[in-house]
Chain A
């Protein structure tokens, strides 16, 4: 949400970090109000993508943690 206020919310991909863009969350926050029908489904699918992104980051972090703690246990 904090990002939504400052990112500019323009649907484009640029290599310039200082130009306006959008994030998954900001897109949902901005588009959801006016959405209906298929458009609404599309916005909810962005939510699904965001869900998978968050889930995979979480699982990766968990795996990393798991491997690190297992390593220490083997050494000890």
Chain B
């Protein structure tokens, strides 16, 4: 810093040095932020890949150190619960998001929007406790239904927030143009605003699904676990995350290996689902554009 006052040429040199130094510092920070991701991915792939096989995906779990165990029921259970959670939270969340963005001037909207933010930062285990008290202890039964309800509380605020944020990005001129043509407000929202902000909406829903798929605590408390396929959604149901938790903290080496395998499956499910949805919906959107 003292060199700044010496010579005009040395100022620019000093600045260049500081600039380089800071750039390097920032790059190091980026590296530090990204390295854990690759370390985790690498670790899961290296340790999980040996456990993977077709049988691992299609067989039921076996006791510790009995070969041939699989995670089929956990995969089905995870999809069941996330499905139930999506059925509950997507309509309500999208509707709430529309309210937050299209009626943002109303006081109720401001207050409930804040409440929504509080729910977003909520410890998911407390949501699980709530569902346990309301559903599990009244029906005296751990169930996939209770797990789905608990997960819907996790998904709901995320969907509402991302919906409202992506609808706020829709230019106001579109709304005004629609109003000027005499189209009622509800129709404007459904046909103009939502169809314009559809991509953001979808991304938000996928984000929420990803979050719910990875949740352990609320499911552990509400759906418990099982070593069989659940016969109905009102029975204890296995899920990938709880299975990983149980297997990884167990003493059995074979279960620990399977936990790595299940973790790998869990990690691979989300990008696959993401790609699938993006492909199908992307195609639909393209079709719509041609129609227009």
A residues at B contact (CB < 8 Å) = 1, 4-5, 24-25, 28-29, 32, 43-44, 47, 50-51, 54-55, 57-59, 62
Contacts and interface: CB of A to CB of B under 8 A. Distances in A.
Q: Taking each of B118, B241, B248, which has the highest tally of chain A beta carbons within 10 Å of its own beta carbon?
A: B118
Q: Is the interface of B mostly helix, strand, loop or mixed?
A: helix
A11 B217 CA distance: 20
Interface of B: 114, 117-118, 121-123, 125-126, 129-130, 132-133, 215-217, 220-221, 241, 245, 248-249
Nearest to B124: A1
Contacts, number: 53
Q: Is the interface of A mostly helix, strand, loop or mixed?
A: helix
A25 B133 contact: no
A28 B125 contact: yes
A1 B118 CA distance: 20
Contact of B118 (A24, A28, A55): A55
A47 to B, nearest CB: 4
B261 to A, nearest CB: 17
A25 B217 contact: yes
A62 B117 contact: yes
A55 B114 CA distance: 11
B216 A58 contact: no
